[in-house]
Amino acid sequence: MKLMVIGNGGREHAVAWKLSLSSKVDKIFCVPGNAGTKREEKCENINLETIEEIKNFALKEKVDITFVGPEKYLVDGIVDEFKKSGLKIIGPDKNAAKLEGSKVFSKDFMKKYEIPTADYYEFSDFDSAKKYINERKTFPVVIKADGLAAGKGVFICNTKADALDAIDEVMIKKIFQDSGNRIIVEDFLQGKEASVLCITDGENIIPFIPCKDHKQVYNGDKGPNTGGMGVIAPNPYFNPIVAKDFEEIMYKTLEGMKKENINYTGIIFFGVMITEKGSYLLEYNVRMGDPETQALMFIMKSDLCEMFEAATEKNLAGFMPEWENLHVCCVILASQGYPLKFKKGFPVSLNNTGNSKVFFAGVSENNGMIVTSGGRVMAVVSKAETIQKASKEAYLAIKNVNFENKYFRTDIGVNI
């Protein structure tokens, strides 16, 4: 089979690598791919940008299945375009992508289908939002821009002043342009987070191993939020009670999607907050998580291509993904300064990382030399019988991956 993977991050490198291990797969086009996918077997990087260009290429090359990494293409309707041309693709259509593309849409969906989520109000004009914040008695409060904001659209505001600043930035200064036309103001939930990726064909839904992401940039969950600085799986807080709560969230979501005629084939990501009062859904992402994917692909035993095939044929009933009975630890190597200002263009040296796997993200290639080009540069992933061992291995491997201004958290999988 010929497959195509769209995107250029660590997540896409991990998916392309995992697909390359399938005996069913002959060829993987990575659009545009990165220096990591370029080095994987069966993979070829192809530089295409628009949905039209990508679709025409898939038709010409008779690509069997396309996997879409980034949400932007999904929200822009790549799945609709592919399906119109009879091409198989993993991802939600434009309407379904609103589950991530609009916080107002997703919160209203959760409310309608009685999915536990933080209480909230929505506002489309600044004066009403300001009045509400001024009259609100309890803080912290969480302010969310409605539309896509490259993962930066959520503000946890500890004081009234912070909340007023946040609505000013989003609704008046329009730092996320039209994504800030509407906002959600919701209660702050205290707890431990879990990321659960599931695969669905619209009729069936199957959860993957629950992950724990580490969103903040510094040890001990301090500092600004990032795309994710490391992941461990299974999530140690995901006990059987949480699993039961989650099942309810998951099945209510599937039922809701069916009732709303939401057309979903692919991966749906549930961001869950585990609190003392039960588990609540924070958000949906209509894509795989980054770096959750890097961790999960490394311990998935099943053939990912077969799973994608089953999903596109609406044949997931009875499909049980298999996982290695191990713990996995993924540590992100970032550029010092990320998620704010950082320098780039430093050469990367990679020595033997043993049984660990390195997935590339923010790197580019200059005359055959790999140099840093982004905030999250790469992910180092290790697996072992215990999370402590997996973590130790990952940190040993990191010593063999070097570049100037290398920064990473040193507490991923430590003291669990």
Could you list the residues that contact ligand GLY (CB under 6 A)?
Answer: 213, 227-228, 285, 289-290, 292
Query: Is the peptide bond prior to 339 cis by the omega test (within 30 degrees of 0)?
Result: yes
Report the alpha-carbon distance of residue 156 to residue 159 in Å, rounded: 9
* 154 counts as binding ligand AMP under rule CB under 6 A: yes
The interface region with ligand AMP, picked from 182-190, 235-243, 350-358, 370-378 by CB under 6 A, is 182-190
148 touches, from ligand GLY, ligand AMP, none (C-beta below 5 to 8 Å by class): none
Residue with tokens 């961001």: 271
Q: State in angstroms the smallest separation of the CB of 207 from ligand AMP.
A: 18
Residue 186 interacts with ligand AMP (CB under 6 A): yes or no: yes
* CA–CA distances in Å: residue 329 to residues 50, 235, 250, 305: 35, 11, 25, 24
Yes or no: say if 348 and 404 are a contact pair by the CB < 8 Å rule.
no
Find out whether 90 and 67 touch, Cβ atoms under 8 Å.
yes
Beta strands in 211-348 (DSSP E): 212-213, 216-218, 222-225, 230-233, 264-275, 278-285, 327-335
Considering the complex, state which of residue 91 and residue 228 has its C-beta at the smaller distance from ligand GLY. 228
Q: Nearest 5°: CA angle at 357, between 352 and 362?
A: 100
Applying CB under 6 A, does 282 fall inside the site for ligand AMP?
yes
Partner in contact with 80, chosen from ligand AMP, ligand GLY, none, beta carbon below 5 to 8 Å by kind: none
Q: Pick the binder of ligand AMP from 189, 229, 274, 299 (CB under 6 A).
A: 189
In angstroms, give the least distance from the CB of 288 to ligand GLY.
7
Smallest gap from Cβ 188 to ligand AMP, in A, equals 4
Q: What is the amino acid identity at position 329?
A: C
Question: Choosing among ligand GLY, ligand AMP, none, which partner's interface includes residue 290 (Cβ < 5 to 8 Å by kind)?
Answer: ligand GLY
Q: How many CB atoms lie within 10 A of CB 128?
A: 12
Member of 77, 271, 278, 337 binding ligand AMP (CB under 6 A): 271
Q: Contact between 118 and ligand AMP (CB under 6 A)?
A: yes
Stretches 38-46, 184-192, 293-301, 319-327: which one binds ligand AMP (CB under 6 A)?
A: 184-192
Q: Which is nearer to ligand AMP, 188 or 218 (CB)?
A: 188
Residue from the set 14, 75, 115, 142 that interacts with ligand AMP by CB under 6 A:
142
Distance of alpha carbon 9 from alpha carbon 1, whole angstroms: 23
Asked if 142 and 187 count as a contact pair (C-beta separation under 8 A), the reply is: yes
188 binds ligand AMP (CB under 6 A): yes
Contacting residue, 71, 81, 146, 283, with ligand AMP by CB under 6 A = 283
Q: Which residue is nearest to ligand AMP (CB)?
A: 283
End-to-end alpha carbon distance in the chain: 42
Q: Please identify, using beta-carbon distances, which residue of 22 and 195 lies nearer to ligand GLY.
A: 195
Select from ligand GLY, ligand AMP, none the partner in contact with residue 10, using the beta carbon and a kind-dependent cut-off of 5 to 8 Å: none
Contacts for 60 with CB less than 8 Å, ≥ 6 apart: none
* Cα–Cα distance, 41 to 316 (Å, whole number): 28
CB of 88 or CB of 144, closer to ligand AMP: 144
Out of ligand GLY, ligand AMP, none, which partner does residue 230 contact, by CB within 5 to 8 A per kind? none
Nearest CB to ligand GLY, comparing residues 289 and 375 = 289
Q: How far apart are CA 394 and CA 330, in angstroms?
A: 7
| Cα 183 to Cα 1, 59, 126, 171, 301, distances in angstroms | 44, 40, 9, 8, 41
* Nearest alpha-carbon partner for 304 in 10, 15, 45, 13: 15
E strand spans, 33-189: 43-45, 65-68, 89-92, 120-123, 141-145, 154-157, 183-187
User: Which 10-39 residues touch ligand AMP, going by CB under 6 A?
Assistant: none
Indicate which of ligand GLY, ligand AMP, none lies near residue 228 (CB less than 5 to 8 Å, by partner kind). Answer: ligand GLY
Q: Which is nearer to ligand AMP, 51 or 156 (CB)?
A: 156
Q: Which residues bind ligand AMP (CB under 6 A)?
A: 118, 142, 154, 156, 186, 188-189, 193, 215, 271, 282-283
